[in-house]
Structure 1
Amino acid sequence: MTAGTKTLTLLRHAKSGWDDPALRDYDRGLNAKGKRAAALIGGHLRNAAGVFDHVVASPAVRVVETLEQVESSYGRTLAPHFDRRIYLASAVTLLDIIHEAPAEAVHLLLVGHNPGLEDLAMLLVPDSDEPLRVALEAKYPTATIAEISFAGEWATLAGGSGRLTRFVRPRDLDPTLGPDED
């Protein structure tokens, strides 16, 4: 990794359950498929992503449970900073949160929700016909990670300045976890 290169990993929460109509959206937990997918992604991150310097996440129950499952397979403590602004945030709000990341952090993990995460990834990565960008544009399923690298500082990250280096869906690691993921 060259000096000044930062890596942003975006993780959409895993598949949640809708079986209790009395629950607020914020309070919905993961279903069994979501737990499996999150644990699988955690194992993938352990092998592929290295160590996260800073983790920021929505405090919604499905995000907290996603992180618990990811952490169990990741093998390291993630110690997220929970930020309520991430819950149902727009891409612009998410970018504001990234701008606040500690300058010394090199690898940031942001865990949240769609459509904000997908919109943020689309904003940061220039439009192209590269296979990863095409896959991102097609659909950003639950428990999917998008890894974006860029040169510069968190405080100056801007639209079109990133390069999509990884886009991994749970079904890429285990076909039984797709294609009905959403």
Structure 2
Amino acid sequence: MNVAEPRRIVLFRHAKADWPQVADHERPLADRGRKDAAVAGRKLADTGIPFDLALCSTATRTRETWKLAVQEFPQRPKTVYEERIYDASPGELVALLNETPDDIRNVVMIGHNPGVQALTDILAGESEADPRARLTSRGFPAAAFAILSFTGSWKGLEPATATLLDFWAPTE
């Protein structure tokens, strides 16, 4: 792949989790979360982005979100379950994305807030007005995703090098 071609990063927050008496890492999805994860999967599939790689937190709720969402895709990307996404800072998430091989064009990262929202804000040096307004007004609710684009090597991804192209969140 030519590094001059645009790359896409989708930052996807896990769907609504339940609050049973288990460790935070083991929290499952709530009923609403299961429904929203499938809807988010359909919306992601509708973008037409051919994902090459999915980086998913090892937390139960992110794995369940991804399992339900990816069923809506015409083709399943390679999925890597990555412990470093759980409770990661935006800088740690950028460092993880910097490790992506340059033959990968489009990545979806399934993670947690506040990390995914902060990473979206940090990476988006530019944005289309409407997605930025939706993100600003809604925050980054469960099952929401942001689509960013940048050009260059994954190693060169850093703050303000991407453009926020779209933001979607389920209706409440």
Residue 75 and residue 29 in structure 1: after superposition, are their counterparts in 2 closer, same or farther (change >3 A)? Answer: farther
Listed as ranges, the gaps of 5+ residues in structure 2 are: none
Match of 2:84 in 1: 85
How do 1:112-123 and structure 2 match up within 5 A?
112-123=111-122
Contact 1:14 1:37 in 2 (8 A): yes
Determine which structure has the larger strand proportion and give its number.
2
Shift of 1:145: 0.9
Cα distance per residue 1:21-41 (max 9 Å; x no partner): 2x0000001011101111011
Contact 1:54 1:101 in 2 (8 A): no
User: Residue type matched to 1:147 in 2?
Assistant: I
**Matched position secondary structure for 1:94:** helix
Runs of 4+ in 1 over 3 A off after TM superposition: none
Shift of 1:71: 1.4
Q: What is the distance in 2 between the residues matched to 1:159 and 1:124?
A: 5
| 1:168 lines up with 2:165 in the alignment | no
Q: What is the distance in 1 between the residues matched to 2:128 and 2:47?
A: 24
**Matched position secondary structure for 2:125:** coil
Shift of 1:130: 1.7
Computed over aligned residues only, the root mean square deviation of the Cα atoms, in angstroms, reads 1.7
Cα distance per residue 1:128-174 (max 9 Å; x no partner): 78221132234001111100001111110111111111101112xxx
**Matched position secondary structure for 2:72:** helix
Q: TM-score normalised to the size of structure 1?
A: 0.87
**Matched position secondary structure for 2:9:** strand
Residue 6 and residue 128 in structure 1: after superposition, are their counterparts in 2 closer, same or farther (change >3 A)? Answer: closer
Match of 2:152 in 1: 152
User: Residue type matched to 1:102 in 2?
Assistant: P
Residue 5 and residue 137 in structure 1: after superposition, are their counterparts in 2 closer, same or farther (change >3 A)? Answer: same
User: Residue type matched to 1:7 in 2?
Assistant: R
Match of 1:174 in 2: none
How do 1:104-119 and structure 2 match up within 5 A?
104-119=103-118
Quote the sequence identity (%): 30
Q: TM-score normalised to the size of structure 2?
A: 0.92
Match of 2:15 in 1: 14
Shift of 1:62: 0.2
Q: What is the distance in 1 between the residues matched to 2:170 and 2:77?
A: 20
Match of 1:43 in 2: 42
Shift of 1:50: 2.5
Listed as ranges, the gaps of 5+ residues in structure 1 are: 172-177
Match of 1:132 in 2: 131
Shift of 1:127: 6.6
**Matched position secondary structure for 1:111:** strand
Aligned residues: 169
Shift of 1:3: 4.0
